[in-house]
Amino acid sequence: MTNATAEETKSDARSNGPLSPDTLAKMNAYWRAANYLSVGQIYLKDNPLLERPLTLDDVKPRLLGHWGTTPGLNFLYVHWNRLIRERDLNMIYIIGPGHGGPGLVANTYLEGSYTEIYPPIEQNKDGIKRLFRQFSWPYGIPSHVAPETPGSIHEGGELGYSLVHAYGAAFDNPNLIVSCVVGDGEAETGPLATSWHSNKFLNPATDGAVLPILHLNGYKIANPTILARIPHHELEELMRGYGYEPFTLAGDEPDVMHQQAAAVFDKIFDRIAAIQKAAREDGSTDRPAWPMLILRTPKGWTGPKFVDGKPVENTWRAHQVPLDNVRKNPEHLRQLDEWMRSYKPEELFDEKGKLIDELAAIAPKGRLRMGMNPHANGGLLLQPLKVPNFRDFAFKIRGRGQTDAESTRILGHLLHGVMQANLDTKNFRVFGPDETASNRIDEVEVGTGKAWMAETLPVDENLSPTGHVMEVLSEHMCQGWLEGYLLTGRHGFFSCYEAFIHIVDSMVNQHAKWLKTTREIPWRKPIASLNYLLSSLVWRQDHNGFSHQDPGFIDHLLNKKADVVRIYLPPDANTLLSVSDHCLRSRHYINLIVAGKQPQPQWLTIDEAVAHCTTGLGIWQWASNDKDGAELVMACCGDVPTMEALAAVVLLRERVPDLRIRVVNVVDLNALMSPDDHPHGMDNISFNSLFTRDVDVVFAFHGYRWLIHSMVHGRANEGRFHVRGFNDVGTTTTPFDMVVLNKMSRFHLAIDALKHVPRLRSQASDAINMFNRKLYEHHTYIREHFQDMPEIRNWSWTKDFSDPAAPPPLAKGQPRAQLFTDS
């Protein structure tokens, strides 16, 4: 092919497409403006419109940020703008490679959203200068797409979650389109690799659409990406295998790319409209092959091609700052000047520094601008969750500690009520990695079902294309969907095995950061809290053993900012109901509820439970005999520790009837902290009124014991706290053996108590010997009988201690286990 023919072909391609020459020129100019402003943010602190040649004084002393991904993000933004205008789309944009922050800041500035939200960033030369200076500047704005960025619900700093966030946003939002760029490096992460399967849960009739764009710019930080280096047909097959209809757009000639992009997006959006019409108007129930785009553009597109003799554009060298030595190398400074001028800023901004009217006119207006879309500031759309009166679901205890119940199953009744109450507004979903039934809250499925668009078989139960319980065996997906759902103004609940919630530790960190940061951003409105129920707990892993035993998520969360995190360990069903009601109604927190699913003694009436949860911790008078001043405090937090602590109290009072014991139960873990460290914390006077100043405290804790030690650090005589908890010893064994192995059994607690009450030291040895003998008996019994000793299995709180408020005991012959609400 001769050169002339190649030029002709290019020119044909430029005019060959849906864009008129005028629109094409404007879109390309708009893109240039976004690229110009992006480069300016990375490099400049002055001379924002290049009115004079660049000098060192114009350049920031530290060059920070990411260029490589940015031109591709900007390219898409200008195309979304056209589609939003032409098709009146309600669209938000989620950016996996959120390190391309300058691009999103530039675009929201160009469309005017940025200035409306941050008035000092004016639409003029001064405004551009401030825009440049603030970027990656101390006390300015972060380099990533961040909570500060208008239109964003996704930070994108920790890669892997863009697509799940996109789907979470789209569920129950039938009019929303979520465009989502997945970096080709990001696509290598585990969470992202499984996120593609979200399309098996998206109902085209009742949910919105997600358009994934796999951005094959070929590189990560210093390496190629896998998906860019497999044959194209293999990649397309992969996407087909995930159930998508892949479209491809590849090239580097801007005008040609604009035409081809417009053509392919027209096809894609027609396809989305057809899928939705088929489901919504023609009654199709098929799982559609949703379109997705593979976008191949050079990394660092339009940036310097060579630097210091080495190729940069279209290589990994374009990832961050392509000319990184501008301050010391005059050639770099010259190249920067040349690069920025290549966008022809004088054609884009008027003499005052305002984007020229013809270009400003091609952006959408008002709330259709992606920077102003209320779905990206979900608190604006948040409707209160309708929560039925939780007292209606109360477990009626008969005889304190005499009836057992599966606390989480009772919570399931409440969650079912919540689900039903909100089905009309469709703003509540329950998420879990196939543990809803296992955690015994599966009543929530009744009447809605579990979301499922894939094949069904007669053996399946409760699967439904309109289900609002989301089950997929990926904690990452559950977490990501829920975050996307919450961030767009809805409510949700995540139930998970305690040990495996750690899989999302890092995602929780990111969400906690988001909540913390947005608290300080006035235009961001509070969203619903992220509620966790952790069940299948460390102490009761009869089927599974050590792999399933880890209560450390509590420790993980406690490190987060106190204004974001709340941790509850309700000891029984009624406290679980009260705590859950509170969490479901709350805003902008991460609430962690730790509650067992196995039959456990039930302690408090609903009124007592509400009172106890309101204070967060308190003396259980009915279990204490400390009227004349406590000699020992037996403290407990968590359902199994509470049972062991009360059993220890019985043992002690049987052996040493005049021992004055105070029982303190903790529901709200944060209440143990100082008010300086947590808003729920207690001052020393209140703390001492419960734990005294000097009496020894034996503390049975659900999790790792160091956590309690660190929480009571600084309290009066902190050395008197003797904490027992999970000591990382686990296996498949009997329930009681677990507490024995970790030295938290009633016998261990009782021995601790005897050792720490001064007046008993000389006479405690008999009792201690006896408790040690019991431990030995247990040791041999379980090896022989494969279950706990009858006195352990059949243990219940004694009726002998006076308890005027105690509900009446069970009638003779009535079974101990009362598994269902009898209200």
- Tell which one of 74, 113, 134, 217 touches ligand TPP (CB under 6 A): 217
The first and second tokens of residue 442, run together, are 């599966």
Q: How far is the CB of 335 from Mg ion (least distance, A)?
A: 23
Residues 823 and 820: their CA atoms lie apart, in Å, by: 9
Distance CA 703, CA 501 (A): 14
Stretch that binds ligand TPP, among 151-159, 427-435, 671-679, 801-809 (CB under 6 A): 151-159
- Using the structure block, give the residue that is written with the tokens 């809605």: 448
Task: Write down the least CB distance from residue 228 to ligand TPP, Å.
Answer: 8
**Cα–Cα–Cα angle for 46, 49, 55, nearest 5°?**
45
Q: Does 155 bind ligand TPP (CB under 6 A)?
A: no
CB-side neighbour CA atoms (13 Å) of 767 = 24
69 is an interface residue for ligand TPP by CB under 6 A: yes
User: Rule CB under 5 A: is residue 480 a binding residue for Mg ion?
Assistant: no
CB distance 60 to 44 below 8 Å: yes
Separation of alpha carbons 271 and 222, rounded Å: 37
Question: Any contact of residue 96 with Mg ion (CB under 5 A)?
Answer: no
For ligand TPP, the binding residues in 777-806 under the rule CB under 6 A are none
**Residue 577: C-alpha distances to residues 408, 591, 607 (Å):** 9, 14, 11
Using the rule CB under 6 A, which residue among 159, 323, 415, 633 binds ligand TPP? 159
Structure tokens at 592: 């962690």
Helix (H) or strand (E) holding 334: helix 330-341
Q: Is 636 exposed, middle or buried (0-12, 13-18, 19+ CB in 10 A)?
A: buried
Query: Residues 82, 299, 715, 774: which binds ligand TPP (CB under 6 A)?
Result: 299
Task: Report d(CA 740, CA 742) in Å as an integer.
Answer: 5
DSSP string, 462-481: SEETT--EEE-S-HHHHHHH
Q: Does 38 bind ligand TPP (CB under 6 A)?
A: no
d(CA 378, CA 523): 11
Binding mask 582-621 for ligand TPP (x = CB under 6 A): ----------------------------------------
Least Å from the CB of residue 70 to ligand TPP:
8
Nearer to Mg ion, 217 or 624 (CB): 217
Counting contacts by CB under 6 A, is residue 479 touching ligand TPP?
no
Query: Residue 76 Cβ, how far from ligand TPP at the closest point, in Å?
Result: 12
List the one residue from 155, 184, 471, 498 that touches ligand TPP (CB under 6 A): 184
Using CB under 6 A, which of the segments 156-164, 403-411, 494-502, 547-555 binds ligand TPP? 156-164
Taking CB under 5 A as the rule, does residue 98 contact Mg ion? no
Residue 221 contact partner, candidates ligand TPP, Mg ion, none, CB within 5 to 8 A by sort of partner: ligand TPP
The two structure tokens encoding residue 313: 């554009």
According to CB under 6 A, which one of 112, 151, 160, 303 is a site residue for ligand TPP?
160
Measured CA to CA, the distance from residue 572 to residue 405 in angstroms comes to: 8
Using CB under 6 A as the binding rule, whether residue 220 contacts ligand TPP is answered as yes
Residue listed under structure tokens 């894609």:
268
> Does residue 68 interact with ligand TPP by CB under 6 A?
yes
Stretch that binds Mg ion, among 209-217, 360-368, 459-467, 706-714 (CB under 5 A): 209-217
Tell me which DSSP letter residue 778 carries: H
Binding of residue 505 to ligand TPP (CB under 6 A): no
Please, are residues 637 and 646 in contact by the beta-carbon 8 Å criterion?
A: no
Among 148, 155, 184, 471, binds Mg ion (CB under 5 A): 184
Decide: is 149 part of the binding site for ligand TPP (CB under 6 A): no
Nearer to Mg ion, 100 or 185 (CB): 185
Rounded distance between C-alpha atoms, residue 531 and residue 447, angstroms: 22
Closest residue to ligand TPP, based on beta-carbon distance: 183
Identify the residue among 17, 18, 147, 185 touching Mg ion (CB under 5 A). 185
266's tokens: 């027209």
Of 181-189, 568-576, 629-637, 773-781, which part binds ligand TPP (CB under 6 A)? 181-189
Where does this chain touch ligand TPP (CB under 6 A) — which range of 180-188, 200-208, 264-272, 572-580? 180-188
User: Environment class of residue 183 by beta-carbon count within 10 Å: exposed (0-12), middle (13-18) or buried (19+)?
Assistant: buried
d(CA 383, CA 364): 27
Enter the tokens of residue 448.
């809605």
Q: Who contacts 181 (Cβ-Cβ below 8 Å, separation ≥6)?
A: 72, 73, 76, 93, 94, 95, 96, 97, 162, 213, 215
Which positions from 301 through 320 interact with ligand TPP, judged by CB under 6 A?
319
Residue 252 CB, shortest distance to Mg ion, in Å, is 15
Please tell me the chain's helix, strand, coil percentages from 3-state DSSP, rounded to the nearest 5: 45, 15, 40
Q: Provide the minimum distance between the beta carbon of 71 and ligand TPP in the complex, in angstroms, as a whole number.
A: 10
Tell me which stretch binds Mg ion (CB under 5 A): 185-193, 203-211, 337-345, 393-401.
185-193
By CB under 5 A, residue 186 contacts Mg ion: no
Q: Which of 140, 144, 123 is closest to 70 using CA atoms? A: 144
Q: Of 18, 65, 97, 127, which lies in the binding site for ligand TPP, with binding defined by CB under 6 A? A: 97
Q: How far apart are CA 35 and CA 30, in angstroms?
A: 9
Residue 582: which of Mg ion, ligand TPP, none does it interact with, CB under 5 to 8 A by kind?
none
Regarding 102 and contact with ligand TPP (CB under 6 A), the answer is no
Q: Is 523 left (phi over 0), alpha (psi -120 to 50) or beta?
A: alpha
We find the least distance from the C-beta atom of residue 227 to ligand TPP, in angstroms, to be: 9
Which residues of this chain interact with Mg ion, rule CB under 5 A?
Answer: 183-185, 217
Which residues of this chain interact with ligand TPP, rule CB under 6 A?
Answer: 68-69, 97, 99, 157-160, 183-186, 189, 215, 217, 219-221, 225, 299, 319
